[in-house]
């Protein structure tokens, strides 16, 4: 289980400091392309999906703090995304932070990604990541879509590979425990690139993506300070 960390909300500067990072305390909206180019403030960029998950996780554990409550509200009202996409291969699901956009479309260079992964390491057994931590993959037959309770979430590789973080599954499981809700995992459609989503509905948590493209509007994201 991931531990609760300090959660410092600075309303004057519109920032939240938690999980070892500084985030904006406000979310911006748009499609994936617009969110990547949006102005989150000087020194800030669009958070990756793993960074968004860390912020949401700590916010659910620190409810009662104004900044945390705002993040929880956004998770309940909107689809939260990060600067991360996944490709649904027939046998492999590949995840990439900071993907290239060319002529308005998301581009994944699979030869380059394969080379980066070959030079990488196992994050956990079953999930391999590049040396810089921005690319990862898992075998499709090692994960499953559909409903997951807290225990099943904690044992799944899917949140780990989407977040590109060892804490991914524990983070999602903690949110499930706090809300007493199961999560529905959406796996990328075979042959499609998808923008990722995290949200809370009345009866479930939503996580992953089937085929949500760069032009799909109504996405929301938080900024994170460049290190």
Q: Where are the domains of the chain?
A: 8-80, 84-216
Is 80 exceeded by the pLDDT of residue 52?
yes
Q: Is the pLDDT at 38 greater than 90, yes or no?
A: yes
pLDDT at 135: 98
Split at pLDDT 50, 70, 90, the class of 2 is low
d(C-alpha 162, C-alpha 97), whole Å:
10
Q: pLDDT tens digit string along 141-192? A: 999 999 999 999 999 999 999 999 999 999 999 999 999 999 999 999 999 9
Cα separation, 194 vs 126, whole angstroms? 21
pLDDT tens for each residue of 186-196: 999 999 999 99
**Is residue 1 pLDDT above 60, yes or no?**
no
Residue matched to tokens 């969110």: 35
CA distance 88 to 218: 23
Structure token digits, residue 163: 């977040």
């Amino acid at each position: 289980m991931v531990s609760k960390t300090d959660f410092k909300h600075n309303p004057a500067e519109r920032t939240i400091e938690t999980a070892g990072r500084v985030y904006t305390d406000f979310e911006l909206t748009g499609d994936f392309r617009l969110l990547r180019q949006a102005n989150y403030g000087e020194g800030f960029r669009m958070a990756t999906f793993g960074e968004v998950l860390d912020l949401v996780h700590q916010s659910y554990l620190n409810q009662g703090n104004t900044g945390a409550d705002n993040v929880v509200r956004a998770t309940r009202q909107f689809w939260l995304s990060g600067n991360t996409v996944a490709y649904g291969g027939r046998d492999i699901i590949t995840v990439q932070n900071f993907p290239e956009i060319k002529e308005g479309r998301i581009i994944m260079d699979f030869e380059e990604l394969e080379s980066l992964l070959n030079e990488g390491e196992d994050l956990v057994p079953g999930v391999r990541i590049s040396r810089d931590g921005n690319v990862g993959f898992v075998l499709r037959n090692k994960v499953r879509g559909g409903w997951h309770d807290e225990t099943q979430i904690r044992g799944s590789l899917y949140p780990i590979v989407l977040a590109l973080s060892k804490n991914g599954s524990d983070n999602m499981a903690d949110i499930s425990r706090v809300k007493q809700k199961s999560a529905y995992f959406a796996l990328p459609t075979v042959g499609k690139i998808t923008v990722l989503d995290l949200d809370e509905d009345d009866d479930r948590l939503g996580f992953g993506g089937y085929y949500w493209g760069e032009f799909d509007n109504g996405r929301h994201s938080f900024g994170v300070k460049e290190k």
